Copies of this chain bind each other. A is one copy, B any other.
Amino acid sequence: MTTSRQDMMESIEFTKSDAHIAELLGRLHEMADLQALAALAQWDQHTAMPPGAAEVRGHQMATLEGLLHERWTAARMGTLLDELERTSKQANLTAADQGLIRSVRRGYDRMAKLPRSLVEEMARTNAGSIEAWVKARRHNDFASFAPWLQRTLNLQREVADRVGFTETRYDALLDEYEPGLTAHKVENLFAPVREVSTTMLQRIQKSGNTVDASCLRGHFSQSQQLELADKALRGMGYDFTRGQIALSAHPFTTSFGSPFDVRLTVRINEQYLQMSLMAALHEGGHALYEQGSAPTLVRTLVAGGASLGVHESQSRLWENYLGRSEPYWQGQYALVREVFPERFANVDVATFVRALNKVEPSLIRVEADEVTYNLHILIRFELEKALVNGEISVESLPELWHAKYRAYLGIESPTDADGVLQDMHWSGGFGYFPTYTLGNLYAAQIFSKLHKEFPDFDARLASGDTGFVLQWLREHLYAYGAIYLPEELMESVTGEKPDPQYFVRYLTSKFEKIYGL
């Protein structure tokens, strides 16, 4: 690995002396600026924008997406790509050049199949749908959101039909977020995940053993929770001179020019510390990935993550594999006690970490423990696949949601707000959720690799050092942005093809220990 790593490191440079590469970069710089502004407008909508501005914001988003579409589909973009692909072998281009060409080709081919008017309409619908979702969730009123979801669904079906697919329509949407992913592949990946999750949940429930998580409940003021989130993020190595934390209805991370402006949000429940703290670690993981992009990639559309699955591997790595482990908190627990000295004076670190790992079927995905988490994704996957493939209606969603939660998790939400309305993602489209489980699987494999690389991994974490993890991830993963395809990158990082058995072994061993099975 060392040699090929060296090759990769040296290759995060574009051959600006090549006239075609220079021309492509010039085009991408403008497109990246427009995309950054679209991300800024969305960040603003989620963190600050007054509700009365939703319609005019929708127009602004549509204008940006229309301009981006125009640039993606420019005739010269097609001939430029043709010329680059024809000459790329003999031109002695770098791996970064090659990755750039491949990535732009992918975007061009997809965008060329979509009319500008459709892209603009999606942008307008997305802006309106977000506002409608915020209100619907607040008032537990799915009916008011349903027309927006129907519009989104219609648009997404049109996208899928225009993009084309081999097996099912839903595949055309999956592929946008994770190159080459299909419903069939997701089902194969989910089989062992579902098996281990369900089995482990049953073993825990049968054992009668419990975990006391009461230390995470009580009153934790918003300002103190934000202070802890801030400290935890600094502890991970998140750079606030190139970032910022804000509040939103649903936590997310975004970038307006990685690695130079990468921001994240959390949400706060004053009765439950875990929500904001784990959101900070989760979004912090996404943000470290974006902040770790090689600066040479700025304004190219290949800064940031290789795919949503790889992105999620980093949020889950920091949130769960590190952030729900005892060695990590042996090194970081002082932060918690600094912010809440009295609350945690008599809670030792082992108790705190056990609390973070309490397994309990629950309603909200982003707060789920590691055992049940993927069952939430499975439900989303089954529902959105059926929606897109035309097998179920938007109106039937709340009931189907409740039925699946009863079936997979044995619980039912008293409201739709904590049911089908809990996530904002469907305002933006479908095909996104399965990448979460993919991320969990990737993370397990990378976590195992980290332990092989660093035999003293736990001891270093326990000493308070997280920098060695960040440094290794930057060098081996973050720096490359989207130059490599997800599977290439995973193989380069871990030395093996993606393998779900890492997750199966991790989950089994971790929770057997916690629950004394």
Question: Interface residues, chain A, CB within 8 Å of chain B?
Answer: 29-30, 33-34, 36-37, 40-41, 44, 48-53, 55-57, 59-60, 63-64, 67, 239-244, 246, 256-257, 260-261, 263, 298-299
Contacts and interface: CB of A to CB of B under 8 A. Distances in A.
A256 B29 CA distance: 24
26 contacts: A30-B63, A33-B64, A34-B63, A36-B60, A37-B37, A37-B40, A37-B41, A40-B40, A44-B44, A49-B261, A50-B241, A50-B242, A50-B243, A50-B261, A51-B241, A52-B242, A52-B260, A52-B261, A53-B257, A53-B260, A53-B261, A55-B260, A56-B299, A57-B261, A59-B257, A59-B299
Contact of A298 (B56, B67, B243, B263): B56
Contact of A50 (B37, B44, B52, B244): B244
Contacts of A53: 242, 256-257, 260-261
Nearest to A259: B52
A320 B181 CA distance: 64
Nearest to A246: B48
Contact of A56 (B30, B60, B257): B257
Nearest to A29: B59
Given A34-B63, A63-B34, A50 B240 contact: yes
Given A40-B41, A41-B37, A44-B40, A261 B56 contact: yes
Given A29-B59, A44-B44, A57-B256, 9 more contacts: A29-B63, A30-B63, A33-B59, A48-B244, A50-B244, A52-B239, A56-B260, A56-B261, A67-B67
Contacts of A298: 56
A262 to B, nearest CB: 9
A51 B241 CA distance: 6
* For the complex of A and B, 7 pairs with smallest distance between CB atoms: A53-B261, A56-B257, A52-B242, A33-B63, A33-B60, A52-B241, A56-B260
A129 B492 CA distance: 42
A246 B246 CA distance: 13
Q: How many copies, total? A: 2
A29 B33 CA distance: 20
Contacts of A56: 36, 256-257, 260-261, 298-299
A44 B57 CA distance: 15
A60 B59 CA distance: 19
Contacts of A33: 59-60, 63-64
A38 to B, nearest CB: 9
Contacts of A246: 48
A311 B55 CA distance: 25
Nearest to A63: B33
Given A40-B44, A41-B37, A44-B44, A256 B52 contact: no
A47 B488 CA distance: 41
Contacts of A57: 256-257, 261
Nearest to A53: B261
B48 A60 contact: no
A29 B58 CA distance: 12
A471 to B, nearest CB: 19
A37 B29 CA distance: 17
Contacts of A49: 244, 261
Contacts of A29: 59, 63
A1 to B, nearest CB: 32
A49 B256 CA distance: 10
A17 to B, nearest CB: 22
A503 to B, nearest CB: 35
A335 to B, nearest CB: 22
A63 B193 CA distance: 46
A138 to B, nearest CB: 14
Nearest to A54: B260
A263 B50 CA distance: 9
Given A40-B41, A40-B44, A41-B40, A60 B257 contact: yes
A263 to B, nearest CB: 8
A65 to B, nearest CB: 11
Contacts of A244: 48-50
